[in-house]
Amino acid sequence: MYGIIAVKLFAGPVVVGAASLAGKRWGPAVAGLLGGMPLVAACVIAAVWLEFGQAYALNVASATPVGLWGNIAYFITLGVASRWFAGKRFGWAGMLLCGWTVYLLTALALSVGGLAHNLPLGIAAPFGLLFAARFLIPKPAAPPRNVPLPRIELAARMMAAFLLILTLSTATQLLGPALTGILSPGPIIATVIPAFTLANSGRDAVLVQLRGFLTGLVGTGVSFFALPWLAAMLGAWAAVPTAAIAMGAAFGASWLMRWLGR
């Protein structure tokens, strides 16, 4: 019981805090890359595993790669909407409303269409992420400016992540494994960090960050494909090689994007 509570409520805020501090130290691209790693999705799967068992959790995990198409639609929408709302008071709220509307419509369409476990669509998701990062996210007009990260803002980011994960983890348990899997890589961290970034650093920093998120999510797609086979051999210990695969795929995708940008 305590393990489930800890996974649901504390891991996500810690990830948001770590990504925020990394962004302060190394810039918005690194914050996005770390935020796109499958740590929140892994928390959802871990909580489901502890609560409902391995078979149900792996059924959820197998739908996660297809769910990344919702993330692709979300990030493209944020990139476009940031032009409309940048510089406006509470513009971050308008940007997020557009993004979440498109994300939920995409996720529901995938679920209603019976595509949650569609293998070709899942295999194509990492390539879709890279294509979106390379060609569909608008390019920043200028290098993003560095701004300080006050402790109160860091605490606010972590609290926002706490509340989002609490809400979504409670709701998705009522929706069955297919829709839960589609929603498990939902843009929880990518809700919190871009909102603060738009308000404090402007649109250019958000656009750099969105590319980082898309690149990091490649690790989610690749690792969750490997998870069912690894779990069949290793059980819960499959989390260790799955995490290594996620990191390798994410940083490999980041290197590829830098190489293509030369």
Q: What is the largest CA-CA distance in the chain?
A: 53
Could you give the CA distance from residue 182 to residue 45 in angstroms, rounded to a whole number?
A: 12
Q: Of 4-13, 165-174, 251-260, where does mean pLDDT reach its minimum?
A: 4-13
Average pLDDT, the chain: 84
80 alpha-carbon distance from chain centroid: 18
Q: Express each pLDDT in 110-154 by its tens digit.
A: 999 999 999 999 999 999 999 999 899 998 888 776 667 778 778
Q: Which stretches within 173-238 are classed as H helix?
A: 176-183, 189-201, 203-234
Q: Express each pLDDT in 44-93 by its tens digit.
A: 777 778 777 888 888 888 888 999 999 999 999 999 999 999 888 889 99
And the tokens for 152?
């109160």
Give 262's pLDDT tier (boundaries 50, 70, 90): very low
When pLDDT is averaged across residues 20-41 and rounded to a whole number, the result is 76
